[in-house]
Structure 1
Amino acid sequence: MLLSFTGETLINLALLFSLFGICLCSELTAKKWPKASPWLAITGILLLLTTALFLHDWVRLGILTIGLFLESFWSRQNNNWISKEALLTLGINAFSGMIAIALQISFLSAFLQQFPSGTGQWGLTALAAPLLLQIVTYLLIEDLKRYAFHRLDHSLLFFWRFHKVHHGVTELNCITGSRDHPVFNLGHLASDIGLAYLLGVSNEALVIGLSIRMVFGGILPHFNVDFPNMKETFPWWAYLIATPNFHAWHHTVHCRYDANLADMFPFWDILFGTFEKPLGSSRDWQFGLSDSEQLSQSVVGQLVSPLTTINRISSNTQIN
Structure 2
Amino acid sequence: MRRLLLSWAFLGIAVSLGIWSTIALDYDQNKVVLYYLFPYFALATALQYLWPEQSNEFAPGEIWTDILNNIGLLMVTAFQGVVVHWMAEGGHGLLFQWGWVSMSFSAHNLPMWAQVLVAWLVFDFMFYVTHRIAHEVDFFWRFHSVHHSANRLSFLNASRVHPVDIIWRRLVPLFVAYQTGVSANAMIMANTIGAVLAVITHLNVDFRFGVLNYVFGSNEVHRWHHSNKIEEAKNFSVVMIWDHLFGTFVYKPQGQERPEKMGLFNELYYPQHNFWGQLLIPFAWKRWKARQAAAQQDAVATEPAFVDTLPAQRAQTDKGNQLAV
Q: TM-score of the superposition, structure 1-length normalised? A: 0.69
Q: Which residue of 1 aligns with 2:285?
A: 309
Does the CA-based 8 Å contact 1:85-1:170 persist in structure 2? no
2:258 maps to 1:277? no
Q: Any idea what SS the aligned residue of 1:252 has? A: coil
Cα deviation, residue 69, structure 1: 3.0
2:52 maps to 1:75? yes
Cα deviation, residue 165, structure 1: 0.4
Q: What one-letter code is carried by the residue in structure 2 that aligns with 1:256?
A: E
- Structure 1: gaps of 5 or more residues: 1-54, 230-234, 315-320
Does the CA-based 8 Å contact 2:124-2:173 persist in structure 1? no
Change (3 A) 1:128 1:63: same
Aligned length: 253
Larger Rg: 2
Change (3 A) 1:85 1:210: same
Does the CA-based 8 Å contact 1:162-1:181 persist in structure 2? yes
Q: Which residue of 1 aligns with 2:177?
A: 196
Q: After superposition, where does 1:138-177 map in structure 2 within 5 Å?
A: 138-177=119-158
Q: Which residue of 2 aligns with 1:101?
A: 78
Change (3 A) 1:62 1:281: farther
Q: TM-score of the superposition, structure 2-length normalised? A: 0.68
Identify the range of structure 1 (203-212 vs 119-128) with the bigger mean alpha-carbon deviation: 119-128
Does the CA-based 8 Å contact 2:155-2:203 persist in structure 1? yes
Does the CA-based 8 Å contact 2:143-2:164 persist in structure 1? yes
Q: What one-letter code is carried by the residue in structure 1 that aligns with 2:86?
A: A
Does the CA-based 8 Å contact 2:153-2:223 persist in structure 1? yes
Q: What one-letter code is carried by the residue in structure 2 that aligns with 1:84?
A: G
Cα deviation, residue 246, structure 1: 0.2
Cα deviation, residue 198, structure 1: 1.7
Q: After superposition, where does 1:1-320 map in structure 2 within 5 Å?
A: 57-80=34-57, 84-105=61-82, 107-114=83-90, 122=103, 128-216=109-197, 218-228=198-208, 235-254=210-229, 256-262=231-237, 264-278=238-252, 280-282=255-257, 285-292=260-267, 295-296=270-271, 297-310=273-286, 311=289
Q: Which residue of 1 aligns with 2:25?
A: none
Cα deviation, residue 120, structure 1: 7.4
> Take 1:219 and 1:250, find their aligned partners in 2: how far apart are those partners?
15
Q: What one-letter code is carried by the residue in structure 1 that aligns with 2:239?
A: F
Q: What one-letter code is carried by the residue in structure 1 that aligns with 2:250?
A: E
Does the CA-based 8 Å contact 1:150-1:261 persist in structure 2? yes
> Take 1:265 and 1:56, find their aligned partners in 2: how far apart are those partners?
22
Cα deviation, residue 295, structure 1: 2.1
For residues 230-262 of structure 1, give each alpha carbon's deviation from its aligned partner in whole angstroms, at most 9, with x where no partner exists. Answer: xxxxx3222012211100121122462552222
Cα deviation, residue 134, structure 1: 0.6
Does the CA-based 8 Å contact 2:115-2:186 persist in structure 1? yes
Cα deviation, residue 73, structure 1: 2.8
| Identical positions, percent | 26
Q: What one-letter code is carried by the residue in structure 1 that aligns with 2:36?
A: V
Report the aligned-residue RMSD.
3.1
Q: Any idea what SS the aligned residue of 2:224 has? A: helix
> Take 1:59 and 1:65, find their aligned partners in 2: how far apart are those partners?
10
> Take 2:133 and 2:256, find their aligned partners in 1: how far apart are those partners?
29
Change (3 A) 1:155 1:63: same
